Amino acid sequence: MKPALYSEKLTENKVQCKLCPHNCKINDGKTGICLVRKNINGELFSENYGKVCSIAFDPIEKKPLYHFYPGSIILSIGSVGCNLKCKFCQNWEISQTSVKNYPYLKDYSLTEILNIALENKQNTGIAYTYNEPTVWYEFMLDIAKQAKKNKLKNVIVTNGFINKEPLKEIINYMDAFSVDLKAFTEEFYQKYTSSKLEPVKETIKFIKGSGKHLELTNLVITDLNDNEQTFSKMIDWIAGEIGKNTVFHISRYYPTYKMNNPATSKSTLLKLYEIAKKKLNYVYLGNIRTGEGQNTFCENCRNLVVTREGYFTDSKGLDDEGCCVYCKQKIM
């Protein structure tokens, strides 16, 4: 437990949290929508500070990040809580609970996490993932500062629903962002995630403007966000605002949590993949085995430069600077 950043005291012992666009006004003794920021006697606290639900070395491709140190491993850590209420959440056991209601959390100090990260010489850095890391803001920020000093890379896997000021602060310490762009209508965001699309678009634009590495993921859910016209609009926006070299992951949905729609069909995924590929140079298919949907082809000479099979990555077609060995095009 630690005092929360980005909070403001209100009258009658209330506090307002200004970490994300919900801007919750929280009564004494209550938590915000994310379930992990609590008003105690008129002061806001981060309840999940130092509380870890999972810690593991993962392939960086699992985040998913395909153009950031391909084939490397990264220490991945997460806690409980989320500021969204996605009915299709694949990690709902940890995202939709609180410190009090999740008995498997372990306490870690900053130093313990850093030591684990530094002891493994193969490790690239630290990824804040599993639950929504922005609602673990204070712990993430403290670790990220130390990790940076120790030349570790910081990676965040996020829904992008964060206010501009905290984003501006954390971005100084982050090296790569994997952002979930869940759909491209306000209606979807409101109905199925209890949040809003516009702030997520703002976050994506801001990250792009910062020059930090950015990859986007879209989970395609049968009958909910698989409309070709809406999908095309999203791709047009990405190509226009973020750029045609944006790395874009199309991910297959499977029924989970409160969502019973059937798993996304392979034909739908392939159709959307073709639509995306017309405008973007680096499109990948995730959560499904396909012939070439995980491989990287050079945008210039079209040669195969990275082959991926499950989490095995072979980047023989890239030189040490991340350029294509055939034509020297910069890829990563």
The DSSP line for 36-52 is: SEEEETTEEEETTTTEE
Residue placing its CB nearer to ligand SF4 in the complex, 17 or 140? 17
Stretch that binds ligand SF4, among 14-22, 199-207, 259-267, 319-327 (CB under 6 A): 14-22
Between 33 and 53, name the residue whose CB sits nearer to ligand SF4. Answer: 33
- Scan residues 145-184 and list those touching ligand SF4 (CB under 6 A): none
List the beta bridge partners of residue 15.
Answer: 9, 26
Nearer to ligand SF4, 23 or 190 (CB): 23
Please give the structure tokens belonging to residue 312: 């095995």
Contact map string, positions 93 to 132, toward ligand SF4, x by CB under 6 A = ----------------------------------------
- Scan for tokens 């077609």, then name that residue: 317
* Contact status: 32 vs ligand SF4 (CB under 6 A): yes
Q: How many CB atoms lie within 10 A of CB 74?
A: 30
Interface residue with ligand SF4 among 2, 9, 23, 311 (CB under 6 A) is: 23
Q: How many CB atoms lie within 10 A of CB 108?
A: 18
Q: What is the DSSP string of 140-152?
A: HHHHHHHHHHTT-
Binding residues with ligand SF4: total (CB under 6 A)? 12
Q: Does 140 bind ligand SF4 (CB under 6 A)?
A: no
Its sign, for the CA torsion 53, 55, 58, 60, is positive
Q: Are 45 and 4 in contact (CB under 8 A)?
A: yes
| Closer Cβ to ligand SF4, 10 or 288, answer by number | 10
- Residue 22 binds ligand SF4 (CB under 6 A): yes
CB atoms within 10 A of CB 178: 25
**Using CB under 6 A, which of the segments 15-23, 142-150, 182-190, 293-301 binds ligand SF4?**
15-23
Q: Look-up: residue for tokens 């991340």?
A: 322
Q: Which residues of this chain interact with ligand SF4, rule CB under 6 A?
A: 17, 19-20, 22-24, 32-34, 37, 83, 135
